[in-house]
Amino acid sequence: MGINIMVIDSTFWVAVSFVLFFGGLVYLKVPQKINDILNKLILDIKNEIDESEKLRTEAKTLLDNAQKKLDTAQSASNEILEQAKKESDNLVIELNNKFHKSSEIKKNAVESKISQMKDTAIQEIKTASINIAVESVKKIIITSVDKSKLDNLFQKNLDETKEELKKINS
């Protein structure tokens, strides 16, 4: 039984040292200090969570503002492109109209010039014909010759007139 008493003794001393240890911890207010440290850590973590939530809210606001600015920029870009397309279409139409007006003016000028040249040519032909006829009459009157000579002279003058007309037309 001696061993049993020693076991009880060692168990007893372990129990006593355990009670003394926890008593010392309570006397030195260690659990309260641990509780205060844990509460401070909890409060710090809570503050960090609140701060991160605030930062997340600010980031979301900044993101929303950036998205609005991007949407506005995209809308403005589309409006500028649409306006540029309208202006280029109007410019093409305007240039097309100017081209047609210019072509019409040139066409009218050329037609007028051709008409003038035609009138001038007709006038020259009339003048040449009159001159040839007058010359023929003069020759007939001056030469008062017989009918065969007159026919030859008339034929000669007619041939000359034809030659003059051919020269004028060429």
Cα–Cα distance for residue pair 124/126, rounded to 1 Å? 5
- pLDDT tens by residue, 95-114: 989 988 988 899 898 889 99
Give every CB contact of residue 52 below 8 A, 6+ residues apart in sequence.
Answer: none
Q: What region does 145 belong to: left with phi over 0, alpha with psi -120 to 50, or beta? A: beta
Structure confidence at residue 52 (pLDDT): 92
pLDDT tens for the chain, 170 residues long, are: 445 555 567 888 788 888 888 887 777 777 788 888 899 999 999 999 999 999 999 999 999 999 999 999 999 989 999 998 999 889 999 998 998 898 889 989 888 999 898 888 888 888 888 888 778 777 766 666 566 776 777 788 888 888 877 777 76
pLDDT tens per residue, range 73-98: 999 989 999 998 999 889 999 998 99
Give whole-number Cα distances, 92 to 95, 96, 98, 103, 106, in Å. 5, 6, 10, 16, 21
Domain residue ranges of the chain, discontinuous segments joined by + = 36-169
Amino acid letter for position 139: K
